[in-house]
Amino acid sequence: MTDTTPALRELPDADAQAFAADVGPRTLLEAFRAYVARVRGGESGALPAVLGAALLVVIFANTSDVFLSKGNFANLLQQAAQISVLGMGMVFVLLIGEIDLSAGTAGGVCAAGMALALNQDGDLRLALGTGVFVVLMLIMAATVVLAALSRLWIPAVIIALGIVVAVAQLGSTQLLAMFLSVAVGTSIGTLIGFLVARIGIPSFIVTLALFLAWQGALLTFIGTGAAIPTRNYDLVNNIENGYMPVVFAWVVWALAMVAYLGTTARRAITRRRAGLSAEPLALVLVRAGALTAVTGLAVFVLNQDRSRTVFAKIQGVPWSVLLVAVVFVFWTLILARTQYGRFIYAVGGSRAAARRAGIDVARVRMSCFIICSGMAGLAGIIGASYLGGVPSDFGKNTDVLYAVGAAVIGGTSLFGGRGKIRDAIIGAIVIAMIPNGLNLIPNISSAYVFLVTGLVLLVAAGADALSRRRPAED
């Protein structure tokens, strides 16, 4: 009998040949053609938001001489910081096809807890009253149990440490008070995730109810028309009102650019050598060059003196920009480079398929709500820094709408399964740009801010719906 093994080795089957050839575009031109094909197929990503931002820049630059000034550029980034952080948390919820309407007021509750702890030397029991304090601790303890039962160990530890900070009256330290804000947000997210993922109540109903409940909690904590000041606490205040030293900003920028180029180029080369799909090295270099040029120009402008008087100097990159950048990089790596991130996309794409693949769907859904509310706690800190305190109506107006809008305008789908963390950043800049630019135009009504923002969000949601319909029709 003739041995056919060598022949089989020399002539791999069609599937193997197809797999071996599936290494992605090899040149910059092929990558561009592939991108155009994706856009035509409905996967436009952040392109509409980028084009929209460019259009707004052109319009506002021609209607106001102040819009492109150094001072207004810094103001724009500071105004977008809170929306960016809240939007990044919202991306996780939207990726699994859910929504969180309570994120804005949840951030207010978290920030109020931080501010009360700071103003009362860490004694939340004195600030809230014994009854309210005991109820809060019991709720947080219950969410520790719920997180542990779902094997969500990191949230369980964060909430438990938050309880320790509150009970041991350690909140007089600014870092620990800020940690308490995130811990309260994590506890809120655990409660929401349990009600949605384990009990089965629709997220719209749960978060709408809690949106109202947290407003009542804020009024209980602060009082009608009152506010808790935070301006006297340097660490909190400097997040939005402080600036990085010029040399430090340049060093951080340089290290970030080198790290980005090194990791992306290494990944492309390694995957190509392994015969896997990878971006052309030329594309990686072009993207890194463009990112270096844009961010370098931003750092250069922000490091210039933008004071309007000769008696003071205002220069440097706001600390809030660095905070947003660090959070952005962290969550981008989680979504794009971890198994957990792939699970999120799988659950958002099809819960049934994810469940058949062995993914604990309820656990993943619950974790996304925890991330969203934890980020709301961080956004609350930024908002308190920007306002100089926590008013009783914190987060109840447009915060959550702007967060959802930022994610959707940036390219995240309302239907789940599609989106990136960068979408929240791009969308937040677009949303912040609208009131920033309109308020610089003389004699224009504030009503146009809501009209234009609503129109932009409607267009973004419509584009998302149409892009979803096109592949189905094909």
Alpha carbon separation from 460 to 48, 271, 429, 464 (Å, rounded): 8, 34, 15, 6
CA separation for the pair 344, 354 (Å, rounded):
9
User: Residue 390: which H helix or E strand, with range?
Assistant: strand 389-391
Per-residue pLDDT tens for 141-182? 999 999 999 999 999 999 999 999 999 999 899 999 999 999
Q: Is the pLDDT of residue 90 over 80?
A: yes
CA separation for the pair 464, 45 (Å, rounded):
9
The residue among 249, 423, 250, 259 whose CA lies nearest residue 319 is 249
Q: Does residue 155 contact residue 180 with C-beta atoms inside 8 Å?
A: no
Q: Pull the structure tokens for residue 424.
A: 């929240």
Query: Helix (H, G, I), strand (E, B), or coil: what is residue 389?
Result: strand
Q: Give the model's pLDDT for residue 348.
A: 92
Q: Pull the structure tokens for residue 225.
A: 């028309």
Give the chain's length.
474
Residue range 100-110: mean pLDDT, rounded: 92
Per-residue pLDDT tens for 225-245? 788 999 889 999 999 999 999
Q: Give the model's pLDDT for residue 76.
A: 93
Per-residue pLDDT tens for 304-351? 988 877 777 888 999 999 999 999 999 999 999 999 999 999 999 999
CA separation for the pair 438, 446 (Å, rounded):
8
Q: Is the pLDDT of residue 470 over 60?
A: no
Q: Give the model's pLDDT for residue 456.
A: 76
Q: Is the pLDDT of residue 15 over 80?
A: no
Q: Does residue 459 contact residue 434 with C-beta atoms inside 8 Å?
A: no
Tokens 């819960």 sit on residue: 351
The residue among 245, 383, 425 whose CA lies nearest residue 317 is 245
Residue range 395-423: mean pLDDT, rounded: 84
Per-residue pLDDT tens for 380-404? 999 999 999 999 888 777 777 788 8
In this predicted structure, which of 181-195, 206-220, 225-239, 399-413 has the lowest mean pLDDT?
399-413
